[in-house]
Structure 1
């Protein structure tokens, strides 16, 4: 066990109180470097990114890697970058889902006369299909908030606070304002439709999709031990068919809402944009599974949509 002196240099904007060197032992965890620099600089460890001066590779903030194991030696140079103010991922998701959780009911009830002021007054009462879509949208995002607080475990602790506007835009605008305005209009297709096929098929897809999505999330949660980022190989309903059945069942539930909305283009727009993003994530996850688990993992031909993608 040797004592090492690591040279510390800021990368990017200066960091007040950042020391010029830090003392660690060769068998110390790399997470200890973050802890020491965070204590001296007054920053959260999640706000710092430390890279090796020799090859610019990131020094992991973990208890599982040692200083010696990363190739750091006495007088090795560390570059420290300030990532800016951070928000916890759990907080980010809670904020993202708050918009579409409350916007539908606001549009359909207290704000309805003001939003649709250009229609003949008094406005007709919301139709059965409009009330149903509002209830199912609210239930969907209540479920999302519940999963965020009680189910999901996050491998990354934080993200830059400035990204919250960009991340929330997808849900607040596309799933909230966009869907609520068009589906709840007095002349929306959801007003005139009386189609029992849309009603029962839409409800069936929604219920199946939501329950199967929750089941997939529970499976994924149990693959990761509390307090760790270590994962097992997922198995269960849908996992033999596609890499990310949680994404697939999410789409199924939204197709149900699409049918119940009278096949509103606004819901379809949200489905298309969301599916495109989930397809990227699913492809990356398949590559990660293959790299992480090797021959133990049964490779999937389809990552998101069975028989299609």
Structure 2
């Protein structure tokens, strides 16, 4: 098939887009990203702020990948609908900000104990251990955000940074830290050493295995591509998202060290949210890979959920 020049009709969808062109011209063998670039150039919007769908059936057109304009089924005089997604912010930036909160809050509240709680009593070994665990966890999260994670979308709505940061800063930041480092905290009292050692072991196993699964997931996607392979390896035969399972294991380890109700509350909320994400991913895998994918009965916790 010889390449041809196509004229596509551009229609606004939702809120008005200033300077949106009525038509654009692209080659049939051009990457679909050319559609976004032509619309962005005319409207002076970032390509990440635009959602483009086929006018015929509403199916989305990607701004990355190897698909050509012809591959999408678009032909001369075909229509595309363009939606303004609003101000955007990069996923990486959101992750950095949301994890930075607890990473700073825990040391500040720990070392600010004399001011916050009005006590001159030294922190106990369990409180020191809780601090160390939380700092390690969120420092690891920041490292993974910078050097491991590959994101399927470049940006998200800027409003998400407030929602995501609020969750981490309040629930795993202020809430967990305040009830862990005070003189009335269960971590301020002696505990059975066996539970402490078990907590340390679970935390270490959870963090190491969680990192391993994140590396596996990273290697499934080529840089600059949204295409994925079927995840295989450590615990992927047990649940859809073993990274979430190991995350839960690590936090159960923290709970066995500090025995704080705030940690238990955080685990319940976190597992609930991760479980929802895991089931959505399970459905996406089934749809994307079909019979090639071995369906999972449990998304996050073997035998439970």
What TM-score do the two structures reach when normalised by structure 2?
Answer: 0.94
- Kept in 2, the 8 Å contact 1:130–1:183? The answer is yes
Structure 2 Cα separation of the partners of residues 77 and 227 of structure 1:
27
Per-residue CA shift, 1:21-62, capped at 9, x if unaligned? 111122322211001111222211101111233333322223
- Which residue, out of 22, 43, 46, partners 1:44? 46
Structure 1 Cα separation of the partners of residues 299 and 177 of structure 2:
31
Answering whether residue 196 of structure 2 is matched by residue 195 of structure 1, we say: no
Answering whether residue 141 of structure 2 is matched by residue 140 of structure 1, we say: no
For residue 221 of structure 2, give the secondary structure of its aligned residue in structure 1.
Answer: coil
**Superposed displacement of residue 69, structure 1:** 2.9
User: In structure 1, what is the equivalent of residue 264 of structure 2?
Assistant: 268
User: In structure 2, what is the equivalent of residue 129 of structure 1?
Assistant: 126
- Which residue, out of 280, 283, 296, partners 1:284? 280
- Kept in 2, the 8 Å contact 1:123–1:186? The answer is no
Per-residue CA shift, 1:201-222, capped at 9, x if unaligned? 1101101111111111111112
- Kept in 2, the 8 Å contact 1:107–1:180? The answer is yes
For residue 171 of structure 1, give the secondary structure of its aligned residue in structure 2.
Answer: helix
Q: Unpaired segments of 5 or more residues in structure 1?
A: none
RMSD: 1.5
Structure 2 Cα separation of the partners of residues 147 and 208 of structure 1:
17
Equivalent positions of 1:1-309 (< 5 A) are: 1-109=3-111, 111-117=112-118, 122-261=119-258, 263-309=259-305
Structure 2 Cα separation of the partners of residues 55 and 298 of structure 1:
30
- Kept in 1, the 8 Å contact 2:150–2:218? The answer is yes
**Superposed displacement of residue 302, structure 1:** 1.6
Structure 1 Cα separation of the partners of residues 204 and 128 of structure 2:
17
Structure 1 Cα separation of the partners of residues 148 and 246 of structure 2:
17
- Kept in 2, the 8 Å contact 1:130–1:190? The answer is yes
Structure 2 Cα separation of the partners of residues 185 and 108 of structure 1:
8
Between 1:293-302 and 1:26-35, the stretch displaced more is 293-302
After the TM superposition, which segments of 4 or more aligned residues of structure 1 sit over 4 Å from their partners? none
Structure 2 Cα separation of the partners of residues 19 and 284 of structure 1:
36
For residue 159 of structure 2, give the secondary structure of its aligned residue in structure 1.
Answer: helix
- Kept in 2, the 8 Å contact 1:202–1:255? The answer is yes
**Superposed displacement of residue 237, structure 1:** 1.7
